[in-house]
Structure 1
Amino acid sequence: MTFQEYKLLTQQAVALIEGESDLIANLANLSALLNMNLDNINWVGFYLLKDNQLVLGPFQGLPACIRIPLDRGVCGKAFSSNTIQRVADVHQFAGHIACDANSQSEIVLPVSIQGTPALVLDIDSPITNRFTQEDQDGLAYLVEKIQQHL
Structure 2
Amino acid sequence: MFSFSPTHGQSMAECHADLLEAACALTDGEPDGIANMANVAALIWQFLPDLNWAGFYRLVEGELVLGPFIGKPACIRIALNQGVCGAAAATGETQLVPDVHAFPGHIACDAQSRSELVVPVLRDGRVIAVIDLDSPSPARFAEEDARGIEALAGAIAARI
Q: Under a length normalisation based on structure 1, what TM-score does the superposition of the two structures give?
A: 0.95
Do structure 1's residue 109 and structure 2's residue 114 form an aligned pair? Answer: no
Do structure 1's residue 8 and structure 2's residue 35 form an aligned pair? Answer: no
Which of residues 77, 86, 91 in structure 1 aligns to 2:101? 91
Contact 1:105-1:125 within 8 A present in 2 as well: yes
3-state SS in 2 of match to 1:131: coil
Structure 1, unaligned runs of 5 or more = none
Q: Distance in 1 between matches of 2:158 and 2:76?
A: 26
Aligned residue number for residue 149 of structure 1: 159
Which of residues 83, 87, 91 in structure 2 aligns to 1:81? 91
Flag the structure with more relative contact order, 1 or 2, with Cα contacts below 8 A and sequence separation at least 6: 1
Structure 1 residue 2 displacement after superposition = 2.3
Contact 2:54-2:69 within 8 A present in 1 as well: yes
For each residue in 1:64-107, what CA deviation from the matched residue of structure 2 results, as whole angstroms up to 9, or x when unmatched? 00000002000000010000000000000001011100000000
Q: Which runs of 4+ in 1 moved over 6 A?
A: none
Q: Percent identity?
A: 48
Do structure 1's residue 42 and structure 2's residue 52 form an aligned pair? Answer: yes
Structure 1 residue 121 displacement after superposition = 0.2
Q: Distance in 2 between matches of 1:8 and 1:120?
A: 21
Structure 1 residue 141 displacement after superposition = 1.5
Stretch deviating more after TM superposition (43-52 or 133-142): 133-142
Aligned residue number for residue 66 of structure 2: 56
Q: How many residues align?
A: 150
Q: Distance in 2 between matches of 1:149 and 1:64?
A: 24
Aligned residue number for residue 29 of structure 2: 19
Q: Distance in 1 between matches of 2:40 and 2:137?
A: 23
Structure 1 residue 117 displacement after superposition = 1.4
Aligned residue number for residue 130 of structure 1: 140
Structure 2, unaligned runs of 5 or more = 1-10
Structure 1 residue 114 displacement after superposition = 4.3
Which of residues 54, 60, 70 in structure 1 aligns to 2:80? 70
